[in-house]
Structure 1
């Protein structure tokens, strides 16, 4: 089979999707899953088409009275994400035509946005727009994602900025679509443009045209006067590690602090002070501490007195022994451990009733092997985002839920979990360079190794996942608090910020 035949299959997929022909789509899925190309570019396109089939099946399942749109377990969406990711991870992806790259990045972003991982979705919209700034579908869907982000937040000033950003991108997308329609008639694009104009009107109704016309200077906030502090804040900003939703809008100085906290909360009078604020304060402070430890491990090049005269025996194995790499390892382990504290918080706040000694971020969603009924069909988008992260992060070969779903989401999940296990319970060798290029390692499982650059990269990624999780945790509580009734059992408490 060649590229032209794949194109014909793609046209059939579009036809079946348009007519909501579920059976034909499932037959095409079976056909495509059997294909295995030596040409990595063809394999990448094949995975993209498979992802599109799963996307169409998901959409069909959301139609009508029996819609499963708020089901927390969505096999179609999980497979959709998996195959788009597999398409991107193929070596041949880099050789694809620009059009395919744009569609794959945008479709993957759409899947994340739909399920509640808005922060991750924005990253993939930006990947598409970095390749082609006027790609209409990435513009329109990014604007919608930013609008959804604004609805999740409890901070009205942040809501305004996100809505303004959404409005501006909608305007650009509308202009691009208008120009396309001037060149040719297209009912599909015409309908999208009509919907965009409605979205633009709704934002104008909320914020007013006068406010929307004002310029927001997101870089009027100084990074600080001290060189070391400025370097640190620039590094955090660049790596999207501030506990600040503004950091998801780009490298703007407005984002160079950590204002995230629990939203306004209602608590039963007989319970007393809201302990969840205390819990979140602690997690936030720990995260910031581990983040700085990582920065020190990466950027402290000068030998300190406490490491200057350390004697290490040369084992002739290209291993790196250094106090700074130990700081990186500590940051990795500490980031990882905070996910279980998030699980403890979820178990307590949502009154799941699980044994707190056995609660972890992977298991908190389940009762035995089934999703906890309190989560299923629970209309809390940020909480779904947390659930999706739990699938991305934790892998266990012996666990049914883990084995069935985690591998279909994050190809690196198993590697990250393995690093954590070796850091905590075994040994891990940090290599100066990748020894696989020089010699064959017989027992990688027992003698697990990784280069210092790869460890740093994965630790930053883990920190980004943790930041995303803490933001979703705050937003999920905000959504839950909005549902509480004012029936006399709740007492408002004014809280002050500690400098």
Structure 2
């Protein structure tokens, strides 16, 4: 057995110690291996992920940071070019761990969105995703899942759902993606209108499937299994009749046969680009996916008949403006003979700067203007809501 092969075996042994939760033994073994083999490329590459995993297990910020710094250094070394996807992935996980260790100490919710470690993790995950297609399915599923976790931590739950879906496209039974998607869906259940119950039921079924998956502990550890089981229990508390959680959910397909040509285009265009305000966006072509039921729920003092209605007015206006912007966008993409003829009646000067002016471009510009105007209403809503 040559020396390089022996080192690989020792690295595997360290990984096994980590999987067993024997983190102190793992760090001691890694330091000993480094001491015996200074500046070895195999060790330098593998220690990035090992340090991050060990530091995370020990909840040691400095060890995780050491792994991240080592990884960032290797990214600048052209001789590690062929390993950069794995490096990006490990470094991203490191930044996520640094964020989690910080958050566990401070619990400062207001600083989450601008958290430097979370933002760095997001960027590294995105770099890894650019060139991940030639990797095996297990790695790709894990990468998309961890990216989803990062987005979820940033408060970008809908985008997290899309990331989990990408992982599940690769492996429909990938347990961490399945369970984390279920928890993200559950978060949105209370603003899903008449589909609230269906969201909880679907989340429960997905969590159960994930928790029973034999590979769950392999990918997420025993903590993931306990976490999913706890979520199932929380959902069960919402239902008097627990049998409801086992029922087969059916989502009727929408019927295009009675619609006009433009309405068909509008429905399919908005569905394709996920422009409807609902959380059935992951069910293909069902009736529930082409409506806008999202609304807030809130508890007000007994006798307070004004607060909710005042808040609801803001939401109504925001949704109305959004619906108009969405309609204008769809109209800008739908060629019609009458609009073509109307557009031809207006003469525009060729300004020689590649600018475009016509009815369709005008509709598109109006859609964007209407969308940007919504931001002002959202800020006013937030101010009113948090009075």
Please say whether Structure 1 and Structure 2 have the same fold, judged by a TM-score greater than 0.5: yes
Sort the Cα spacing of 1:251 and 1:205 in 2 relative to 1 into closer, same or farther, 3 A.
same
Q: Which has the higher contact order (CA 8 A, sep 6+)?
A: 1
Structure 2 counterparts to residues 130-149 of structure 1, below 5 A:
130-149=169-188
Give the corresponding residue for 2:252.
219
Task: Report the Cα offset of residue 249 of structure 1.
Answer: 4.9
Cα 1:282/1:250, change in 2 over 3 Å: same
Q: Which residue of 2 aligns with 1:54?
A: 95
Unaligned runs of 5+ in 1: 352-499
Answer with 118-127 or 211-220: which moved more.
211-220
Q: Alpha-carbon deviations, 1:293-335, whole Å to 9, x = none? A: 0001112253533212444455666554432122112212221
Deviations 1:231-260 (A, max 9, x none): 312222222211223335554221222233
Counterparts in 2 of 1:96-495, with a 5 A limit? 96-150=135-189, 152-153=190-191, 155=193, 157-177=194-214, 180=215, 189-190=221-222, 192-207=224-239, 208-219=241-252, 222=255, 225-227=258-260, 228-247=262-281, 249-263=283-297, 266=300, 274-302=309-337, 303-314=339-350, 319-351=355-387
Shift of 1:195: 4.4
- Number of aligned positions between the proteins: 341
Distance in 2, matches of 1:7 and 1:76, equals 30
> Using the alignment, how far apart are the partners of 2:312 and 2:113 within structure 1?
35
Q: Deviations for 1:330-360, whole angstroms, at most 9, x for unmatched residues?
A: 2122212211211122123323xxxxxxxxx
Distance in 1 between residues matched to 2:67 and 2:259, nearest whole Å? 61
- The separation in 2 between residues aligned to 1:84 and 1:187, in whole angstroms, is 20
Label 1:257 to 1:102 Cα distance change in 2 as closer, same or farther (>3 A): same
Secondary structure (helix, strand or coil) at the match of 2:291 reads coil
Q: Is the 8 A contact 2:176 2:219 kept in 1?
A: no
Q: Is the partner of 2:250 in helix, strand or coil?
A: coil
Distance in 1 (alpha carbons) for counterparts of 2:292 and 2:305? 32
Deviation (angstroms), 1:154 = 6.8
The structure that has the greater radius of gyration is 2
* Contact kept? 1:154, 1:263, Cα under 8 Å: no
Query: Are the aligned partners of 1:48 and 1:104 in contact in 2 as well (CA < 8 Å)?
Result: yes
* Cα deviation, residue 71, structure 1: 2.4
Q: Find out whether 1:28 has 2:67 as its counterpart.
A: yes
* Contact residue 22 and residue 60 of structure 1 kept, 8 A: yes
Question: When the two structures are superposed, what TM-score results if normalisation uses the length of structure 2?
Answer: 0.75
Summarize the Cα distance change of 1:189–1:325 in structure 2 as closer, same or farther, 3 Å threshold.
same
RMSD (Å), alpha carbons? 3.3
When you count helix as a share of all residues, which structure comes out higher? 2
Q: Give 1:220 deviation, angstroms.
A: 5.0
Give the secondary-structure state (helix, strand or coil) at the position aligned to 1:304. helix
Partner of 1:469: none
Look up the SS of the partner of 1:206 in the other structure. coil
* Greater CA drift, 201-210 or 282-291: 201-210
Q: CA deviation at 1:123?
A: 0.8
Q: Aligned to 1:137, what secondary structure does the other structure show?
A: helix
Please identify, of 198-207 and 10-19, the stretch whose mean Cα deviation from structure 2 is larger.
198-207
CA contact (8 A) 2:151 2:157 kept: yes
**Distance in 2, Cα, partners of 1:110 & 1:323:** 42
Give deviations 1:200-224, integer Å, cap 9, x for gaps: 3443443333212322221255457
